[in-house]
Amino acid sequence: MEQIGYLFAGQGAQFSGMGKKLSEASPAARQVFATADKVLGYSISRLCFEGTTEELTPCAVCQPAIFTVSMACRAAWLEAGNPPPAACGGLSLGEFAAACAAGVFSFETALALVAERGRLMDACCQSNPGGMAAVIAGKPEEIEQICADCGIDVANYNCPGQIVISGEHERLDRAVELLAPKCLRAVKLTVAGAYHSRLMTPAAEEFGKVLAKVNIQPPQTIFVQNVVGEAVSNPDQIRENLQKQVASSVRWESCARNIMNHCQRTAEFGPGTVLTGFMKRIDRTFLATPAFTEL
């Protein structure tokens, strides 16, 4: 059997209408949306299928929405007779879909966690304002040093030549100014907060209290986590990493390379093809494709 790695999309991949075509075509996907509506107590399916960009932007909405679409994609994929994962990983929010696909916890549990994570992050954005910036073709060690000097953090190590930084607006502006001559491009992103930075620490602490009440099972396949960039199997360590991830760097390139070591190709689940693009930049010879080209 072909060994396939499952990749799951992160926040920012959302778009109005996502999952609608898949739900119409797949009974399994349709059931995922119905279950999500019941668990959340409101129609996340309507927001996915009909919601405006503004409605889908808050973390409290986009996180459960993207998670639900990603899991609907997985359900449709398996319904079509495709093989289960040899390894699972996801970018930030996507790590929860990956954990679910790896058998760490149920869909219902994961969805409730994601919804609370989004709510806590929205609250943190309000109390600790900040932003993020993409740094293209800069040296990691130089970026890290400037972040340290400016009192901000590296949020994402996405792929060779792409790092995202995060922090308070004024400090972030200073870092972008210092990085401009040292890279191809350093540009602020249109986001609601300073995700994966020290400003998210209150959200991480509160989320830890939520995670402490959840039963976590050992993964049934290779499961990589963002905080460490490698496979983790111990339930207590998985729990700790899920908490830390909210305010820590996402080491996606390391995650991706670990997944590549355990499979022949990857399929990306959820809206967009960002992770497929990252995989191709990490290794152009490796086969990486979306699970579905139309959602």
Q: State how beta strands 185-188 and 131-136 pair.
A: antiparallel
Low-confidence residues of the chain: pLDDT under 50: none
- Contact (Cβ atoms closer than 8 angstroms) between residue 14 and residue 65: yes
Q: State how beta strands 230-231 and 131-136 pair.
A: unpaired
Q: How many residues does the chain have?
A: 295
Q: What is the pLDDT at residue 294?
A: 81
Is the pTM for the entire model greater than 0.75? yes
Q: What is the pLDDT at residue 198?
A: 98
CB atoms within 10 A of CB 99: 27
Per-residue model confidence as pLDDT tens digits over 152-211: 999 999 999 999 999 999 999 999 999 999 999 999 998 999 999 999 999 999 999 999
Q: Which CATH architecture has domain 129-188?
A: 2-Layer Sandwich (3.30)
What amino acid occupies position 225?
Q
User: Which entry of 166, 196, 248, 249 is annotated as an active-site residue?
Assistant: 196
Please report where in the chains the tokens 């994402």 appear, as a residue: 156
- Tell me the backbone φ, ψ of residue 158, rounded to 5 degrees: -80, -50
User: Which entry of 26, 45, 70, 92 is annotated as an active-site residue?
Assistant: 92
The CA distance from 61 to 111, in Å, is 11
- Contact (Cβ atoms closer than 8 angstroms) between residue 267 and residue 70: no
The CA distance from 241 to 232, in Å, is 9
Same fold, 4-126+198-290 and 129-188: no
CB atoms within 10 A of CB 83: 12
The CA distance from 108 to 285, in Å, is 37
- Contact (Cβ atoms closer than 8 angstroms) between residue 221 and residue 84: yes
- Contact (Cβ atoms closer than 8 angstroms) between residue 59 and residue 121: yes
Per-residue model confidence as pLDDT tens digits over 159-175: 999 999 999 999 999 99
The CA distance from 141 to 165, in Å, is 13
Q: What is the pLDDT at residue 130?
A: 97
What amino acid occupies position 97?
A
Cα–chain center distance at 156? 11
Q: Which CATH architecture has domain 4-126+198-290?
A: 3-Layer(aba) Sandwich (3.40)
Please report where in the chains the tokens 């959820």 appear, as a residue: 270
- Contact (Cβ atoms closer than 8 angstroms) between residue 78 and residue 32: no
Known catalytic residue: 196? yes
> Residue 166: in which H helix or E strand, if any?
strand 162-167
Q: In the chain, what is the straight-line distance between the N-terminal and C-terminal CA atoms, in Å?
A: 26
For the chain, the domains span 4-126+198-290, 129-188
Pull the structure tokens for residue 11. 């926040």
